[in-house]
Structures are given as structure tokens and as C-alpha cells.
Amino acid sequence: MRLAAIDIGSNAARLLIVEVQEEMGMPQFQKLNLVRVPLRLGFDVFEKGEISEIRRSMILSTMKAYRNLLDAYQVEHVTAAATSAMRDAKNSPEIIEAIHREANIQIEIISGDTEATLIYENHIAEYMNNELGYLYIDVGGGSTELTYFAQGELKFQRSFNIGTIRLLKNQVEDSLWNEMESYVNRITKFYKTKGTIAIGSGGNINKIFSLSKRKEGKPLPRQLLNDYYKELSAVSMKDRIRLYKLREDRADVIVPALQIYTQVMKWADIEEIYVPKIGLADGLIQHLYAQIHSKA
């Protein structure tokens, strides 16, 4: 069975296509293709409140291309979700209708809490140590989703409108930073655990992990993230692209992303972060499979 998920974020749109096979009653997900297009919707929305005509054309072209790939791969079931930028854009209903009409893809705009829930549906929680706390930190262009586990259970989840593009556009008030700090302090100190582990998701933390040359499964120290933040902040966009081999649409957002990760880890008194390279598209696939399986 072939499944696909489309994640329309504030910085990019992703299409993930997987093949699912059951082995001994357990699903095995094999990635067939992952396509990313840097639509950068947030640069319109967080400044002007709507998606411009140019980016409207870009998203329609992208979704039509995704439809062709879905047909070429003979995908049987597809799910599509849009997050912070589309939540805030006043013309998103008209764009969603056009995508459905022209590309035959139905997009659902999901809340920040739903986004956080879908991200941890990658079932990593099943392998947690009940004596520890786990803080999932997912940083996007428009928002940061925090999900906290303790005693093997989901305890809290919260979405904050603090994202990389909002920071670049100076759209984040100090009061929102203070609110997130208070929230992190409260949830990580309320439960008496033997420590808290951070789990990071999002394209920026994945890129930092790749730059670090760390082995799969090894955590990134918070001090290393601080070092990258200082290094990257100290050079121009042009030099970030040249020295660190970054795409232009990564070179600008990676600095505010590091700011968010390091701040949250500092508030939670966490020294290391694991990067399992998960994201919303992975959670959407898991959720779609669970829905199909429950109806079988």
C-alpha cells in the first residue's frame, strides 16, 4: 500500500511518499520519495496578512506537480495539511478551493495543537524511559510546537507563534517569549523526573545535525548549538551559503531557529538534544495509516 502526505509550512511545502508493508502484524514504512519546494508563504503572510498573487501561483504549480507524482507512484491514499502561514492568511480559503479544483488535493488547515500531536505520532514515545521527561521541540517558520512527556505519557502540548520567519520579520513580541519561558519552566519542573531529554524536529535542526557530522542516534550538545548560533550570526547570508553549503532558503532561517532551540533548552535546563529526523509529514503518514487500519 502506498501512502503520501503533504505538509504546507510557512517556509516550504513537502511531499512524502511511502510504501507500507506489514511484517508480523507491524507496519514497516519505506520512504519512496521526499520532495521539498521552498514556497516561503510566511514572508507574505506574517507581514501583509495574505498570500501574494506570485506565491499563489507558486503553490498551485507545486500542488499540480505533486498530483502528477502521486499519480505516477500510484498512491492509494493521500493526506494534506497546512500550518501557521495558511492559518493566518485571509485568502487561504480561496487558495485551498483552487488547489482542490485544479490539482484534486484536499488541504486541511490544522491548529498548532493538532500539529504538535501529529509530530509525536511517530511513536518514538513507545521507547521512552518512564523515569525521564521528554520535551519535543518542533521549530517551523511560523510557530514552535512543544510537546512534553513524563512517566511514559503525554502531559502537555502547546503551540507558540514564535517561528523563524516571524523572527526575521520582527513579528514576535517580548511578551510571547516570556510566555513560552514560563510555560517551559512550569512543565519541566512540575513532574519529578530524573532529568529531561530534548527531541528536536524541523529542517533547521536536521541541517545542524548534518553539519555536526555526528553519528546517527547521538545527541547534539546545547553548547554546540550555541557555537553554531554565534558562528552563523557573525557572517553574512552570502558567506553562510558559501562556507556552510546552505541553500538560500535555509541560510536565513537557520539562525533564528538556533535561537529558539537554545532558548527552550536553557529554560528547561537541558544539555543535549536528539535529532531523529522526524517531522509533520511523518506524523501525517502515521495518522493516515492508523485511520485506514482502523477501518479495515
Fill in the amino acid letter for 19: E
The per-residue pLDDT for 132 is: 86
* Beta strand pairing call for 220-221 and 272-274: antiparallel
Asked if the model's pLDDT at residue 122 lies above 70, the reply is no
Asked if the model's pLDDT at residue 105 lies above 80, the reply is yes
Contact 14, 36 (CB under 8 A): yes
* Beta strand pairing call for 133-139 and 196-201: parallel
Q: Tell me: the pLDDT tens digits for 39-73?
A: 999 999 999 999 999 999 999 999 999 999 999 99
The per-residue pLDDT for 123 is: 54
CB count in 10 Å sphere of residue 36: 17
For range 154-183, the mean pLDDT: 94
Share of residues in the chain with pLDDT > 70 (%): 97
- Give the DSSP H or E segment for 215: none
- Range with the lowest mean pLDDT among 35-44, 94-103, 151-160, 261-270? 151-160
Fill in the amino acid letter for 254: I
User: What are the cell numbers at 232?
Assistant: 552563523
Q: Tell me: the pLDDT tens digits for 131-145?
A: 888 999 999 999 999
**b/e string for 214-249 if b means 16 or more Cβ within 10 A?**
eeeeebbebebbbebbeebeeeeeeebbeebebeeb
Give the DSSP per-residue string, 131-189: TSEEEEEEE-SS-EEEEEEETTEEEEEEEES--HHHHHTT---HHHHHHHHHHHHHHHH
Three-class secondary structure of residue 232 per DSSP: helix
Q: Tell me: the pLDDT tens digits for 73-87?
A: 999 999 999 999 999
User: What are the cell numbers at 285?
Assistant: 503518514
pTM given for the model: 0.89
Give me the count of residues in the chain.
296
20-24 own/partner pairs: CB under 8 Å, 24+ apart: 20/289
| Burial bucket for residue 128 (CB in 10 Å: 0-12, 13-18, 19+) | middle
Asked if the model's pLDDT at residue 25 lies above 80, the reply is no
For range 91-112, the mean pLDDT: 96
d(CA 223, CA 262) in angstroms, rounded, equals 9
The per-residue pLDDT for 1 is: 93
Structural domains in the chain plus CATH codes: 2-111+281-295 (3.30.420.40), 123-278 (3.30.420.150)
The per-residue pLDDT for 133 is: 87
User: What are the cell numbers at 219?
Assistant: 545527541
The per-residue pLDDT for 126 is: 57
CB count in 10 Å sphere of residue 186: 11
